[in-house]
Structure 1
Amino acid sequence: MLRFTIKCPHCQSHGIARGIEKVSPTSWLLDFQCDDVTCGHSYRTRIDMFPPETPIPRRVRRETASLQFNE
């Protein structure tokens, strides 16, 4: 299992991601909590994907053509 961590801005220990909120198709808010029990600081970060457009736009599904065989 992968744990997403960012250093705590107060004590520089590992901060572990505890929650995630999707803001848009290319942006998320992550809630972190310091892993050091004496610090226990909670903080929020924002992750944005650049460029803000999705890299490959979704295509409209085409109709399937029925095949006709000459018999």
Structure 2
Amino acid sequence: MRFTIACPQCGARGIARAMEKKSETDWEIDFQCDDVTCGHTYRTKLEMFPPELPIPKRQRRSNTELQFDL
């Protein structure tokens, strides 16, 4: 699967060519227009929200077996 976004110059498909991780929640992605007559290259920023890292999963509580008097 390719990461694509419309070219801001001509509107054709722009394909992600390189990605640089800036932090745990930020990336910069370089795109190149797929239209050879345009050939525009551009950089985008991808930021994850919320910017805080997710809360770690807690360990599952142990289930106590129910005892029934039959």
TM-score band by shorter chain is: 0.7 to 0.9
The answer to whether structure 1 residue 10 and structure 2 residue 15 are counterparts is no
- TM-score (norm: length of structure 1): 0.77
The CA distance in 1 between the partners of 2:20 and 2:57, in whole Å, is 23
Residue identity in the other structure for 1:8: C
- What secondary structure sits across from 2:17 in the alignment? strand
The CA distance in 1 between the partners of 2:37 and 2:55, in whole Å, is 45
Structure 2 gap segments, 5+ residues each:
59-70
Residue identity in the other structure for 1:44: R
The answer to whether structure 1 residue 31 and structure 2 residue 30 are counterparts is yes
Structure 1 gap segments, 5+ residues each:
60-71
Structure 1 residue runs of 4 or more that deviate by more than 2 Å after TM superposition: 56-59
Quote the RMSD (CA, aligned, Å). Answer: 1.5
TM-superposed deviation, 1:56: 2.8
Q: Please give the per-residue CA displacement for 1:5-51, whole angstroms capped at 9, x wherever unaligned.
A: 00000100000000000000000000000000000000000000001
Residue identity in the other structure for 1:7: A
Size of the aligned set, in residue pairs, is 58
Residue identity in the other structure for 1:20: M
- TM-score (norm: length of structure 2): 0.78
Larger radius of gyration: 2
For 1:1-71, what aligned pairs fall within 5 Å after superposition?
Answer: 2-57=1-56
Same amino acid, percent of matched pairs: 67
